[in-house]
Structure 1
């Protein structure tokens, strides 16, 4: 049997042939060679699985090394020394030290984007390997045929564990801060209230794009978080003093929160059940704890009269309480602007004539905000409310009144493009009496929102009512999203557009007298370069979405900056999957100081030479926009539907549609993460790389000089190189050859593979009118022309940090693609070889074939199993007195069809998805 090493060597040989024949495709040729062996019986699916297992191990090891490199060093003692060294650099008085460490260096939000690619055990294996220098055990590499379902409960559990590890790491840093303060200012150190990091989550509270989360699910999650956090506080306090009198308070409140969480996890569709659960939660009770303020005051008073070690321990605990409140962290609710528009129209616009983009809408809302009288609410009002947006405000009110009255709640509004939308949110916050505890945050992510976001902020901050609200809250919060922005305009133009929007926020705050409020900027990028992360280093990862240039706008205006980023799903939680990784991650963030910058730093040439950089930005944006609007690009990305991808989250990515709709699937039907994932699986991160070369055309030397001399330009090029190191245009083209009628017609030509003549002829005839070969060839040609120009530009810019093992990784990815293409060919051949069956339930044989060609394999197999059942009555099942000679021999029925055709398709597809996972691991993240 051949090995992975043999395949890597063979691919290397095939690559040499491109010098002879430029159109030669090594990846597809290797797939043909593998396919021939597979169809001849020289290579079995069992042997394919063994090859895939070896590739999986290599990819997991690669991912572990990448994770380790991003946060290196990981060793706990080393990071303790690094953080101590960082603290020792602090000079000046206690007030300066407090200013540095009593404001969050970063807000970290643990979001549940569908990126749970790896099963829990495998993700843990990667994290453990990244936490040490040990290689991954081959026994833990294989995912196996069955992947556990990713449910909302699973996502929430994973988020809570990541936050727990992050909180423990923060405690370590807080203790070091307090110890440093005690040593330097022994008479005044207890004034310190360290808050170096704040954590939050929207898992279970994000209603944008989903309707499967009941309101009581959010309540149950918040109560479960309260139970878990109170338990952690109690454990910490018991370590200090196992007989401490506050322990009983914490433990009793924890027990009560657990009982209430269980009640809200039950079926509350019966009004009696809801009434019982709600009344228990809202009733006065000696164990009811809605604020930690009395506990914090009591523990800090005790710290003032304690010895040094006990005082440090107590103040470390109260710092955690002050940061997180009665939960694992703060929470973010999220709705769509349209949901909010529907709600406000129902409340203020009974005639239906209110245009929320008009000045009259602003005037209406301004008047309503001045006149609104807060209303009391209860759980019955929440239960009967039909509006998603209003329901979220009612849920927030109940959480603040009866679960945690200390921690404010963020209300994120997706697709928010009108200032009136924010005023509508403020109206409901005031209507339900929670405006002093809710931070309303618009999300700027679409092309239109980024283009008009500056004017949006100018108009919003000019409103007296909004300014009063911001001053009361002490902050202005905005959210900038990189996933959809990167999909619509490309990741590099998106980052530059978001950067300008952040600068406009600083200007608008200064012009409107809001410099005493802080600016909280939530950048919702993910872990992959396709979602706005930077693959080069953790410092780049932090500076890419909130650049030094943008930070200087706030520092120079004397505005406190509160940077916030998301750690998304199974990829982002990996940074906090072990205590070692969590501490390393927080230490790298503290060293990078994402909230600070040098206000006197000289202007980066990238921002000074706008005659070049602005044209560069516009050219890339236009190139990316052309791809997005191109029928060629859209058809290529949707050629396989979503069949290249594993299910990676609780939110369904595929919308139900008929076959013709699938054939004409729009890019806008695919969410950002699946879109990016498909680009990975096709072999070329278009939304990162494409357009850079074309934008440089005709101005290579001058642009290269600018990028070489600019820190931002160098960062941009580092991102492009990281993506380009994993990219292969030949691989993109290879996918189109699957649908090449001439290929299938020629494959058994001149007696080769004569046993495949019939299925190859059937495939050739079926695919004569298929457009996908031409589509992929046109896309590859366009990418190639742009790439030639990109390489010309990169040759003028030194590569200071070349990727380690670049060629090995590229070859490994190429082998994976070739093996998967061979499996697809196996599936195609088996599919057309299945005997014809009668049309049933409006599904024909051709429909099933089309399902296979678009990788809707589960649907196709369901139809085939229905057409060829193997479970039906046997004569021996009946106890009859009369004898029968018929049937006169054993009847195999459809068992042979299942064995020879249906089951091989099923198994080959399962193996192909394992390859998809391995490819994503080589990229370091899903999507």
Structure 2
């Protein structure tokens, strides 16, 4: 029973307060876990779920009690998340590299070339922060802002009211998230990032002024940059019009001009550049005034008006940063004092790095769209990915490249174009021509699995006359792409047109994705295969005499261990993505590397949610990048950044000396994950009601519908996107894509496995991801969800209940679950996962376990799900409507398609208001056939809706406990 005694600070009113309820339920979790150690047949999570259900039945816990408890639990999880975020970016910790620029200058040996040595160190962009979206906005904007503010506060007392304010709000994401919403949030993060970069560049100039007082103004430091693909990512979506993309680029241009006008000193020296920027800003505002808005289908006249504004205002709006940069250079020379010169020089650095944009643009689409666009000029049968067609496609595209002629592009051609890839390439052409042509544009191609794709993209770029302004970038993410990636690049490099293109543009850019690779081969295995591909890529460039070009590596991942981002610290994350051995091999072959990393959705944007957070994030990036670059310079042979890079100890990492161990270990993980993905039970686990636990978290279209109504039954994980796949694993309490396969792999050589955990920086860092996954995973929780879908469990419960009405409910649920026939596959799946977990726990007995608070959230949510089902079985019988029977409706409730079912029930059981209400017809009132189903709505449908709202609320709370969405 609940302890409500006055001794515990709660008056004996019969109603628990949220504090005593929390204490009581957490104690119940602990006791149930202890009892299960003596009773192996007891599931401690289901036992607590049953206890909560009984208290709900008896009225000991009411809906208001749950809401009060949720506020308390939210406050604790949000407080911890703010502290974790603060620690993750190193804010407030001893961070010696906050003074990195001064330390760099101090480390430069004095000599004739010392200034040029420093210039070479800071004038090249070595790292780019890329803001990406996807459906990853898993919390409301207001909550994200409060978490960021709380994390920025050094004093716990100052954080408390911010956390309390956030805890009073729902954890569920904002409804109806649009692309505009995503763009706005990306811009907030980018603006904080740009301000942090300005501060860093200013510190570089300050340090240089002390050493080279006569030459420091010659420096244009731009070691870091900001980029974004929000509004430019058309992979898998058709809801982004070319006018939307153009408008976003113009808005980004306006922000850059605003920054310039806001920070430019109002002195005579800046008169020329001020007039240029003022005129450009006014012209850009006039262009935006006629730009079509998001979600509209603009008329041809509206498109024509927008196009004419871009063309008419083109010269005034500026389409290249050259004139403004020249004006800033002149202003630096003409300025009267060093303070003004410094301010102007910082602005010059920001524009030199980003052109006329607040953030550099990254465009993305799918390889199949490239193939479709070129197919109309290639007379070939078959698919380019077919091995039998490989040579013929490569030969044909080579022939096309031999005599490709550029064509003119106008907005009319863009408006008429239907092929996605051609339309996107034409959009880029118009952006370079009419918005900003300062820097080449990144063109990312998802699912690149053949060199033909790269050559076809090159043909398109040449066809539209922009080949020297587009960075064609393959994305290697699937298991096949990780295997075949080097062959893809080799096929392209064998073509002289591709080699000439790389030499002209001066950079080879590749993108590595952790989402699909991690969910199909396992996160740790994905890291190994990606690192192996990086090493082979370095060898390939050296073999092709291309060591003089820059290699840009863009790693896309979310903020979750389920998507490839290291959970312990930003230092670990950067070192995990760019291991020291790969960096060392790049240095030995003379290949300069530019690193890029995505910060995704509301979780990733948190690291740039305030200026203090953004500043700390930039400081950590500086530690990583300059530790890398300094090691590349002979002049710094004796220089060591103290505590600057956790990769500094990796020079002789034993994992590379034991190549066979590493290969075998990660091959086993990959094999086991691939087998798991093909297991029908795994699809059942993810797809039965997993998607319904999640709110929509972005603008990208999501749910497919089945012919029979409701969400499609998932038969293989490939039918859902990687982000919901990973998010569902979080919600079901077992992060299989970070854990599974590790047990069998460790068990093959347990002694060597333990040695690597102890001695290898690279391996132990990777394994810390497993440790974190273990902390938010629990087989008892997973088993509770699986047992919830097992009719035998419900029949056993019916056999033992003392309540006749409950027995009937349990039998109906069991019968419906029997029709779904999920249990056999799910039981086999649980056996597979358990066997591997036991092996892992034997090899690593120090792994942690899920916290009582997170376990409690799962138990409460299961009790709410069960309660929804108990109510659903009382829905009255009805004639089939739109092909939906009562039995089918109950099955949809079991899959938690609650929102869809309630919509149907509104039509099947309408509540019709009395149209004669208040009218006197002069006779005693007769019966009205209205309002017939008010009772069902009051006693069944409305409570189901409220319980489901709380189910989704808990999903948001679990997200905060895990630390990320998806």
TM-score normalized with structure 2 length = 0.91
User: Does residue 577 in structure 1 map to residue 609 in structure 2?
Assistant: yes
Cα shift readout 1:95-140 (whole Å, capped 9, x = no counterpart): 2212221122311110012110111110011111111132244232
Residue 753 of structure 1 deviates from its aligned partner by 3.6
State the partner residue of 1:502: 534
Residue 319 of structure 1 deviates from its aligned partner by 0.3
Which residue of the other structure, out of 287, 299, 303, is the alignment partner of 2:316? 287
State the partner residue of 2:642: none
C-alpha separation in 2, matches of 1:269 and 1:869? 38
* SS in structure 2 at match of 1:649: coil
User: Does residue 455 in structure 1 map to residue 487 in structure 2?
Assistant: yes
Residue 227 of structure 1 contacts residue 255 of structure 1 at CA under 8 Å; is this kept in 2?
Answer: no
Quickly say closer, same or farther: Cα 1:597–1:730, change in 2 above 3 A.
Answer: farther
The count of aligned residue pairs is 916
Counterparts of residues 705-854 of structure 1 (less than 5 Å): 705-747=755-797, 749=799, 752-795=802-845, 810-854=851-895
Residue 362 of structure 2 contacts residue 442 of structure 2 at CA under 8 Å; is this kept in 1?
Answer: yes
C-alpha separation in 2, matches of 1:551 and 1:785? 38
* SS in structure 1 at match of 2:691: coil
User: Does residue 636 in structure 1 map to residue 685 in structure 2?
Assistant: yes
State the partner residue of 1:274: 303
Residue 690 of structure 1 deviates from its aligned partner by 1.0
User: Does residue 338 in structure 1 map to residue 368 in structure 2?
Assistant: yes
Residue 659 of structure 1 contacts residue 847 of structure 1 at CA under 8 Å; is this kept in 2?
Answer: no
Which one is further off, 306-315 or 150-159?
A: 306-315
Quickly say closer, same or farther: Cα 1:81–1:555, change in 2 above 3 A.
Answer: closer
Quickly say closer, same or farther: Cα 1:684–1:753, change in 2 above 3 A.
Answer: same
State the partner residue of 1:667: 717
Residue 639 of structure 1 deviates from its aligned partner by 2.0
Residue 374 of structure 1 contacts residue 433 of structure 1 at CA under 8 Å; is this kept in 2?
Answer: yes
* SS in structure 2 at match of 1:372: coil
State the partner residue of 1:682: 732
Residue 736 of structure 1 contacts residue 775 of structure 1 at CA under 8 Å; is this kept in 2?
Answer: no
Q: Structure 2: which 5+ residue stretches go unaligned?
A: 1-15, 638-649
State the Cα RMSD in Å: 2.4
C-alpha separation in 2, matches of 1:735 and 1:328? 46
Residue 827 of structure 1 deviates from its aligned partner by 0.2
C-alpha separation in 2, matches of 1:148 and 1:83? 44
C-alpha separation in 2, matches of 1:238 and 1:301? 14
Residue 261 of structure 1 deviates from its aligned partner by 2.1
Counterparts of residues 94-105 of structure 1 (less than 5 Å): 94-105=115-126
User: Does residue 128 in structure 1 map to residue 149 in structure 2?
Assistant: yes
Quickly say closer, same or farther: Cα 1:816–1:659, change in 2 above 3 A.
Answer: farther
* SS in structure 1 at match of 2:510: strand
C-alpha separation in 2, matches of 1:286 and 1:763? 70
Which residue of the other structure, out of 174, 182, 189, is the alignment partner of 1:147? 174
Quickly say closer, same or farther: Cα 1:162–1:355, change in 2 above 3 A.
Answer: closer
Which residue of the other structure, out of 213, 229, 239, is the alignment partner of 1:212? 239
Quickly say closer, same or farther: Cα 1:711–1:588, change in 2 above 3 A.
Answer: same
Which one is further off, 776-785 or 359-368?
A: 776-785
Residue 546 of structure 1 deviates from its aligned partner by 2.0
Counterparts of residues 439-518 of structure 1 (less than 5 Å): 439-518=471-550
* SS in structure 2 at match of 1:562: strand
* SS in structure 2 at match of 1:410: strand
Cα shift readout 1:224-274 (whole Å, capped 9, x = no counterpart): 111121111110114677973422321221122122123222556422222
Which residue of the other structure, out of 213, 220, 223, is the alignment partner of 1:196? 223
State the partner residue of 2:186: 159
Residue 881 of structure 1 deviates from its aligned partner by 6.0
Which residue of the other structure, out of 715, 718, 742, is the alignment partner of 1:692? 742
Which one is further off, 772-781 or 582-591?
A: 772-781
Residue 734 of structure 2 contacts residue 779 of structure 2 at CA under 8 Å; is this kept in 1?
Answer: yes
Residue 528 of structure 1 contacts residue 924 of structure 1 at CA under 8 Å; is this kept in 2?
Answer: yes
Residue 734 of structure 1 deviates from its aligned partner by 0.3
State the partner residue of 2:6: none
Quickly say closer, same or farther: Cα 1:18–1:774, change in 2 above 3 A.
Answer: farther
Which one is further off, 750-759 or 702-711?
A: 750-759
Residue 145 of structure 2 contacts residue 609 of structure 2 at CA under 8 Å; is this kept in 1?
Answer: yes
Residue 155 of structure 1 deviates from its aligned partner by 0.1
C-alpha separation in 2, matches of 1:239 and 1:844? 73
* SS in structure 1 at match of 2:695: coil
Residue 160 of structure 1 deviates from its aligned partner by 1.0
C-alpha separation in 2, matches of 1:354 and 1:570? 38
C-alpha separation in 2, matches of 1:353 and 1:563? 33
Which one is further off, 357-366 or 89-98?
A: 89-98
Which residue of the other structure, out of 571, 582, 585, is the alignment partner of 1:553? 585
Which residue of the other structure, out of 393, 399, 408, is the alignment partner of 1:376? 408
Counterparts of residues 70-85 of structure 1 (less than 5 Å): 70-74=88-92, 80-81=98-99, 84-85=102-103
Quickly say closer, same or farther: Cα 1:848–1:285, change in 2 above 3 A.
Answer: closer
C-alpha separation in 1, matches of 2:699 and 2:384? 36
Residue 550 of structure 1 deviates from its aligned partner by 1.5
Quickly say closer, same or farther: Cα 1:755–1:85, change in 2 above 3 A.
Answer: farther
Residue 679 of structure 2 contacts residue 829 of structure 2 at CA under 8 Å; is this kept in 1?
Answer: no
Quickly say closer, same or farther: Cα 1:326–1:15, change in 2 above 3 A.
Answer: same
Residue 397 of structure 2 contacts residue 452 of structure 2 at CA under 8 Å; is this kept in 1?
Answer: yes
User: Does residue 651 in structure 1 map to residue 700 in structure 2?
Assistant: yes
State the partner residue of 1:179: 206
Residue 709 of structure 1 deviates from its aligned partner by 2.1
Counterparts of residues 897-908 of structure 1 (less than 5 Å): 897-908=936-947
C-alpha separation in 2, matches of 1:757 and 1:124? 48
C-alpha separation in 1, matches of 2:434 and 2:592? 32
Structure with larger RCO (C-alpha < 8 A, sep 6+): 1
Residue 90 of structure 1 deviates from its aligned partner by 4.6
Which one is further off, 577-586 or 65-74?
A: 65-74
Residue 767 of structure 1 deviates from its aligned partner by 2.7
State the partner residue of 1:313: 343
State the partner residue of 2:393: 361
Quickly say closer, same or farther: Cα 1:651–1:21, change in 2 above 3 A.
Answer: same
Quickly say closer, same or farther: Cα 1:762–1:256, change in 2 above 3 A.
Answer: same
State the partner residue of 1:896: 935
Which residue of the other structure, out of 887, 896, 900, is the alignment partner of 2:927? 887
State the partner residue of 2:353: 323
Which one is further off, 22-31 or 656-665?
A: 656-665
C-alpha separation in 1, matches of 2:472 and 2:752? 44
Residue 82 of structure 1 deviates from its aligned partner by 6.0
User: Does residue 541 in structure 1 map to residue 573 in structure 2?
Assistant: yes
Cα shift readout 1:314-339 (whole Å, capped 9, x = no counterpart): 11010001111111111111110101
C-alpha separation in 1, matches of 2:259 and 2:269? 14
Which one is further off, 761-770 or 854-863?
A: 761-770
Residue 711 of structure 1 deviates from its aligned partner by 1.5
* SS in structure 2 at match of 1:871: coil
User: Does residue 610 in structure 1 map to residue 637 in structure 2?
Assistant: no
Quickly say closer, same or farther: Cα 1:111–1:148, change in 2 above 3 A.
Answer: same
Q: Structure 1: which 5+ residue stretches go unaligned?
A: none
User: Does residue 300 in structure 1 map to residue 329 in structure 2?
Assistant: yes
Counterparts of residues 849-888 of structure 1 (less than 5 Å): 849-876=890-917, 883=923, 885-887=925-927
C-alpha separation in 2, matches of 1:212 and 1:892? 41
Quickly say closer, same or farther: Cα 1:14–1:89, change in 2 above 3 A.
Answer: farther
Quickly say closer, same or farther: Cα 1:65–1:774, change in 2 above 3 A.
Answer: farther
Residue 850 of structure 1 deviates from its aligned partner by 1.4
Residue 240 of structure 1 contacts residue 314 of structure 1 at CA under 8 Å; is this kept in 2?
Answer: no
Residue 475 of structure 1 contacts residue 519 of structure 1 at CA under 8 Å; is this kept in 2?
Answer: yes
Which one is further off, 54-63 or 334-343?
A: 54-63
Residue 147 of structure 2 contacts residue 166 of structure 2 at CA under 8 Å; is this kept in 1?
Answer: no
Residue 74 of structure 1 contacts residue 581 of structure 1 at CA under 8 Å; is this kept in 2?
Answer: no
* SS in structure 2 at match of 1:841: coil
C-alpha separation in 2, matches of 1:212 and 1:652? 8
State the partner residue of 1:21: 39
Residue 744 of structure 2 contacts residue 840 of structure 2 at CA under 8 Å; is this kept in 1?
Answer: yes
